[in-house]
Amino acid sequence: MPPLRATLSQNPPLRDQAYSALKDAILSGRFAPGDHLVELEIAQSLGLSRSPVREAFRRLEQEGYLCVTRTGVVVQQISLKDIESVYYVRQRLEGMASALAAICATDEDIAQLRQSIKVMEVALKEKNQKKVVRAGNDFHALLYSVSDNKYLIDLLNVTYEKIRHFRTVNITVHDRGREAVEEHRAVVEAIARHDAVKADRYSQEHVQNSWAHTKRALEKSANEKN
């Protein structure tokens, strides 16, 4: 029997490449809610046939990023209720992850979490919006990994991707950056003390504050458009 590795393609299937490219474009805000996506145009821009793009459309529709209407495929509109629901789920899950992290974090884990906060502080001093967002994303990804619970991490990653999507809609985070850093620090220091109760509480408070900021930003944006 030949080695299985030799039979595997070195590149992801075309449908996965199309899926990743489209999802990145949606999460980054390149494709905004309400935008119409034309299968042929997307295929040509990616240098692919229409079949993998069609499969990517179906997958993104199942995940709630696209919807099929009478006029074609559209990037899903986001309601305030949708965002509130996702933040509610994230609040509970992230609190749980922080509590687990407090139980099982090593000294190396804690050092990495503290370093992640320093990276965000540097980005804030530089007033670099993209770096601030990236540092925040990296902090949460690291926090989730320290929880050492694969199923919880998978749920949190899906939830946090939804949050990334919402943040592309007229929301800036720099004016909340300093607060977020201090909230991250409170969570990490609770983890360092192996205080699961406070790690859970501080993490849930952080998500509550993030939701309050997001809600205000969305309402302000809606009022300015009216």
| CATH number, residue 210 | 1.20.120.530
The amino acid at residue 172 is: T
Residue 174: which domain range?
A: 80-225
**Mean pLDDT of the 117-124 span:** 96
Q: Number of folded domains in the chain?
A: 2
| Same domain membership, residue 215 and residue 135 | yes
Task: Give the pLDDT of residue 7.
Answer: 40
86/45 same-domain check: no
Query: Does the CA dihedral 74-80-81-85 come out positive or negative?
Result: positive
Give this prediction's pTM.
Answer: 0.81
> Which residue from 161, 163, 206 is spatially nearest to 182, judged by alpha carbons?
206
Which stretch of 9-18, 101-110, 116-125, 217-226 has the lowest confidence by average pLDDT?
217-226
- Whether residues 90 and 64 fall in one domain: no
Domain identity same for 39 and 95: no
Dihedral sign (CA 119, 124, 125, 126): positive
For the chain, give the percent of residues with pLDDT over 70: 89
Distance CA 173, CA 14 (A): 35
Using the 3D structure, point to which of 27, 45, 75 is the last residue of a domain: 75
CA 133 – CA 15 distance, rounded (Å): 29
Rounded to whole angstroms, the Cα distance separating 143 from 92 reads 14
Judge if 132 and 27 occupy the same domain.
no
Q: Are residues 204 and 162 in the same domain?
A: yes
Give the residue from 75, 93, 122 where a domain finishes: 75
Confidence band, pLDDT 50/70/90 cuts, at residue 172: low
Mean pLDDT of all residues belonging to the chain = 88
- b/e 68-77 (16+ beta carbons within 10 angstroms → b): eeeeebbbbe
Per-residue model confidence as pLDDT tens digits over 1-43 = 344 344 444 578 889 999 999 998 888 888 888 899 999 999 9
Last residue of a domain, one of 58, 75, 92: 75
Same domain? For 65 and 130 the reply is no
CB distance 213 to 166 below 8 Å = no
